[in-house]
Structure 1
Amino acid sequence: MLFALGMYVFELKTLAPESLNRKTDYGYATNARIGTRDAAQFTGSNETVTLTGTVYAEIVNDLAAAQNQQLTLKQRVSNLLNSSISKSSISDFLTGRQDQHNQSAEIVSIDTLRQMADQGQSWQLVDGNGKVYGAYIITGITEDMKVFWPDGRPRQIDFTIELKRVDPEQNNQTVTTVSYA
């Protein structure tokens, strides 16, 4: 595991970021004063993390195929029942073969992150050593698809995932109602 954002794990078989850029801005409110420098009051910090990387379909599919070879037939059937796999790929799935032109794992991984962002909640960011960076929301996902298969699917995807740190209590999506007696 390289990083985890909530339950999503960044690793070689999903998305493996090549870099993590962590930026912290410190805010100050200022008030102009006559004859002296402006008065400044610290208003807090704003932290962002940007994960960037490149995914190659051949590499990800080879890793997925190697992992799939280690599964028993019972595990493959269980995975088949719990996932959305097209009927045309059932045979390859059960035998552990993957066609290089099938839906690439990296596209599914990016779509999973988009679904997480659509939920509008924060997620804990943790690195492979167990360091907790804090709660983050996904503010942007960029894909740059290159080098296409004849059917239009990308062989290479450059990606950027932008995160913004928030207070942990913003993770709570409950609505509090106040009633007056």
Structure 2
Amino acid sequence: MLMSLGLYVFQLKSAPISKIDRTTKQNWAVTQRVGKRPATQHIGPSDDTITLTGALAPEITGKDIELETLRDMMRSGKAWILTTGTGQVLGPWIILEIKETRRHLTNLGQARFIDFTLSLRRYGEDQTSELGAPIDSAPPDLRLALGNQQQATSNVPQSGPPPRPSRRPVSAERSEQQSAQVPL
């Protein structure tokens, strides 16, 4: 695994990344002063962006569907947890832009190579309401498998202890036994 965004895994067989660029900024307030240089005051973090660059070779590795899965994630308007291949969790990120360049086209117009660039921006740690559901970032085949599994388990009756037979009160049983013993 090179990196993951939600459940979407960047790896050599899906969407191999060849380059990662990260830019981190800080906010500084500037106050003009008479006869002195401006005063600056640190007011906190600013943008943190990552650009992932890679290439698909549909005949060898990665298919068009990989970029469509990422586009679906982008269209959802949700943030996704970004994790490096070493397991470092970088927090929630949104997909700002996906660029692709198709080259070396076949006579049917299919690209032999697809270069892509994915632009991400860090999402606020305190904004958890817009985090994407992990299943929505899974590859289509995994989503289908998980959906089928959920359907199968919803059709299975709930397990639990068998129903207990209803018991009549002890006094009712005794009165039946006594009436059965009384000779007519």
TM-score, L = length of structure 1: 0.68
- Residue 49 (structure 1) aligned with residue 6 (structure 2): no
Question: What is the rounded CA distance, in whole Å, between the counterparts of 2:78 and 2:5 in structure 1?
Answer: 12
The CA deviation string for residues 91-115 of structure 1, in whole angstroms up to 9 with x for no partner, is xxxxxxxxxxxxxx52100010000
Give, as a single letter, the amino acid of the residue that structure 1 aligns with 2:37. R
State the match for 1:115 in structure 2: 72
What is the aligned-residue identity percentage?
38
The CA deviation string for residues 47-85 of structure 1, in whole angstroms up to 9 with x for no partner, is 10000011112212xxxxxxxxxxxxxxxxxxxxxxxxx
State the match for 2:169 in structure 1: none
Question: What is the rounded CA distance, in whole Å, between the counterparts of 1:58 and 1:106 in structure 2?
Answer: 8
- Residue 156 (structure 1) aligned with residue 113 (structure 2): yes
Question: What is the rounded CA distance, in whole Å, between the counterparts of 2:30 and 2:39 in structure 1?
Answer: 5
State the match for 1:28 in structure 2: 28
Alignment of 1:1-181 (within 5 A): 1-43=1-43, 44-60=45-61, 105-173=62-130
Question: What is the rounded CA distance, in whole Å, between the counterparts of 2:102 and 2:13 in structure 1?
Answer: 18
Runs of 4+ residues over 2 Å off in structure 1: 168-171
Please give the secondary structure, in 2, of the residue aligned with 1:53.
strand
Question: What is the rounded CA distance, in whole Å, between the counterparts of 1:157 and 1:133 in structure 2?
Answer: 27
TM-score, L = length of structure 2: 0.67
Question: What is the rounded CA distance, in whole Å, between the counterparts of 2:78 and 2:39 in structure 1?
Answer: 36
The CA deviation string for residues 32-52 of structure 1, in whole angstroms up to 9 with x for no partner, is 011112121223231100000
Q: How many residues align?
A: 130
CA RMSD of aligned residues (A): 1.5
Please give the secondary structure, in 2, of the residue aligned with 1:110.
helix
Please give the secondary structure, in 1, of the residue aligned with 2:127.
helix
TM-superposed deviation, 1:168: 2.7
TM-superposed deviation, 1:29: 1.6
Question: What is the rounded CA distance, in whole Å, between the counterparts of 1:170 and 1:120 in structure 2?
Answer: 13
Larger RCO (CA within 8 A; separation ≥ 6): 1
